[in-house]
């Protein structure tokens, strides 16, 4: 059984479908044919039994039959119409049958009828010539004939069962042939239906094999209808489109990262070469120029490290999915970020008005996002400027006094590596706001930049509140 299942699974899907259809049709046809055969047999049996019950043998025929049995050659054998065979049965079990008819075996039921113990009997018996007969025996009363007829005896009327078995055998062969033709036709139809129905699956298979072989993600499968195959084709098209988009974004990320890394690396290489040439030639660089050169090297290394950190943040495997969410205080995270911002801009005035607000977020990622927003405000604020930070009703706002962002550039501020033309001479990678947008969206919030009424830029982060604050630590 296991081997048969293994061989069945090894067949192509269309062959299995055709085989299953043929098997189902064969079972159905066999059931219908068997039912037809048995119903026909029952009808024929009933018709034969009714015909035997309806035959009545008159007294003259009985006397002629007795005469033909007792005086062979002196009396003509009687003839009864049709294929009926008539036989007389006495109480002692003796029989009287027409000379040309084969005697039929007498049963106890026949003798009981002859003795008057039963009115009639219907059974199947075998004649001396081997034929199976259907026999109906009933009591026959007549005037006694000395030496010929007793007071009562039984009359058996019989017909050969071949009248039923031969038509049934013919019917069985006809049903067998018709069933075979039906099964073969069903198998052919099943194979055609399987081929037609699985054509989209073949196209999908060819498309998948083409993608695996060529890595061509532009392949699309035509979607026809609204059935499961159409849904599968649509899902495949969506998958390849998503993969193509992901690959394009990856390629763009690599290209943008290479472009952004080239600038600090080129500047760093130039400065290092100047220092190395000074050591090789023995001509020292003036102290002021050397300090400026070292300061530039340090700034470039810091920018390079920041850029690499941002790239690692964007490229980590779980970047697309948020980490474990916790109930944290947004006001606490903003306070910690403010301390770091004051260290980076000691000449700035940074005000804070933070109301308690608890959110569900990844603490480290959310703190990094708030730090990035504050870093932008510090970086673009003028010396001795003011940065106002407020948290009210779940909205954190950071207002600076920088040059602002032109309206046509606002739609691009959260794109990776995008930097305003006026800010390209300043340090930065163009990834900070992209990380902010991703983190806030993962926490179910919204982030936006818009011009401030008094000049500068206002960054707003709105996050939904948590059901309850975190438990107090003892």
Q: What is the pLDDT of residues 344-356, one digit of tens each?
A: 777 888 888 898 8
Q: What is the pLDDT of residues 75-108, one digit of tens each?
A: 555 555 557 888 888 888 888 887 778 888 999 9
Q: Which residues contact 304 (CB under 8 A, 6 or more apart)?
A: 261, 264, 265, 268
Distance CA 232, CA 241 (A): 14
CA trace torsion 436, 437, 439, 444 (10° rounding):
140
Distance CA 224, CA 181 (A): 34
Q: What is the pLDDT of residues 142-159, one digit of tens each?
A: 655 555 555 567 888 998
3-state secondary structure of 71: coil
pLDDT of residue 390: 92
Q: Is the pLDDT of residue 39 over 90?
A: yes
pTM: 0.46
Q: What is the mean pLDDT of the chain?
A: 78
431 neighbors 388 (Cβ within 8 angstroms) = no
Least confident of 17-21, 105-109, 234-238, 346-350: 17-21
Tokens 């004649």: give the residue. 127
**Residue 200 backbone dihedrals phi, psi, to 5 degrees:** -60, -35
Among candidate residues 11, 26, 31, the one with its CA nearest the CA of residue 194: 11
Question: In the 8-state DSSP scheme, what is residue 382?
Answer: P
3-state secondary structure of 277: helix
pLDDT of residue 316: 60
Q: Which residues contact 194 (CB under 8 A, 6 or more apart)?
A: 13, 14, 15, 17, 18, 21
pLDDT of residue 425: 47
CA trace torsion 287, 290, 294, 299 (10° rounding):
100
98 neighbors 78 (Cβ within 8 angstroms) = yes
Least confident of 60-74, 220-234, 416-430: 416-430
Tokens 């069962």: give the residue. 161
- Domains (range + CATH), the chain: 13-197 (no CATH), 228-315 (1.10.287.130), 323-462 (3.30.565.10)
DSSP β-bridge partners for residue 392:
395
Interhelix angle for 287-315 vs 432-442, to 10°?
Answer: 30
Residue 122: pLDDT band (50, 70, 90) is very high
404 neighbors 455 (Cβ within 8 angstroms) = yes
pLDDT of residue 340: 77
Distance CA 213, CA 236 (A): 16
For range 124-138, the mean pLDDT: 90
Q: What is the pLDDT of residues 406-458, one digit of tens each?
A: 777 777 677 765 555 554 445 445 566 777 888 888 888 888 888 887 778 88
pLDDT of residue 318: 47
Greater pLDDT, 167 or 467: 167
**Residue 457 backbone dihedrals phi, psi, to 5 degrees:** -135, 145
């Amino acid at each position: 059984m296991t081997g048969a299942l293994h061989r069945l699974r090894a067949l192509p899907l269309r062959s299995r479908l055709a085989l299953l259809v043929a098997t189902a049709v064969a079972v159905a046809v066999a059931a219908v044919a068997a039912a037809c055969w048995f119903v026909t047999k029952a009808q024929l049996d009933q018709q034969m039994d009714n015909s035997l019950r309806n035959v009545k043998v008159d007294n003259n025929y009985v006397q002629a039959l007795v005469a033909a049995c007792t005086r062979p050659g002196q009396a003509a054998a009687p003839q009864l119409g049709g294929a009926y065979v008539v036989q007389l049965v006495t109480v002692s079990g003796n029989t009287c049958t027409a000379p040309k008819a084969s005697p039929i075996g007498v049963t106890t039921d026949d003798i009981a009828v002859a003795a008057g113990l039963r009115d009639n009997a219907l059974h199947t018996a075998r004649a001396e010539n081997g034929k199976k007969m259907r026999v109906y025996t009933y009591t026959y009363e007549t005037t006694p004939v000395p030496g010929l007829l007793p007071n009562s005896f039984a009359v058996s009327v019989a017909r050969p069962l071949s009248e039923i078995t031969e038509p049934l055998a013919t019917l069985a062969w006809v049903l067998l042939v018709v069933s075979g033709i039906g099964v073969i036709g069903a198998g052919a139809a099943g194979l055609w239906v399987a081929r037609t129905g699985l054509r989209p699956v073949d196209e999908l298979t060819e498309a998948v094999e083409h993608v695996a072989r060529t890595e061509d993600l532009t392949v699309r499968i035509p979607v026809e209808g609204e059935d499961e195959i159409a849904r599968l084709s649509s899902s495949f098209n969506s998958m390849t489109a998503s993969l193509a988009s992901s690959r394009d974004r990856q390629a763009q990320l690599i290209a943008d990262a290479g472009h952004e890394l080239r600038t600090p690396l080129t500047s760093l290489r130039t400065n290092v070469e100047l220092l190395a040439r000074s050591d090789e030639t023995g001509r020292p660089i003036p102290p002021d120029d050397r300090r400026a050169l070292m300061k530039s090297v340090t700034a470039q290394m810091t920018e390079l490290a920041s850029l690499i950190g941002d790239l690692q943040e964007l490229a980590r495997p779980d970047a697309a999915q948020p980490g474990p969410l916790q109930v944290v205080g947004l006001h606490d995270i903003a306070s910690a970020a403010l301390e770091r911002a004051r260290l980076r801009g000691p000449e700035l005035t940074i005000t804070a008005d933070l109301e308690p607000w608890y959110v569900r977020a990844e603490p480290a990622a959310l703190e990094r996002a708030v730090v990035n927003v504050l870093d932008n405000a510090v970086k673009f604020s003028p010396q001795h400027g003011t940065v106002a930070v407020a948290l009210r009703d779940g909205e954190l706002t950071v207002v600076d006094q920088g040059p602002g962002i032109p309206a046509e550039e606002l739609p691009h501020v959260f794109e990776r590596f995008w930097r305003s033309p006026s800010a390209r001479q300043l340090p930065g990678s163009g990834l900070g706001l992209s990380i902010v947008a991703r983190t806030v969206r993962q926490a179910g919030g919204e982030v936006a930049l818009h011009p401030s009424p008094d000049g500068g830029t206002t960054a707003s982060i709105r996050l939904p509140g948590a059901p309850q604050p975190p438990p107090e630590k003892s």
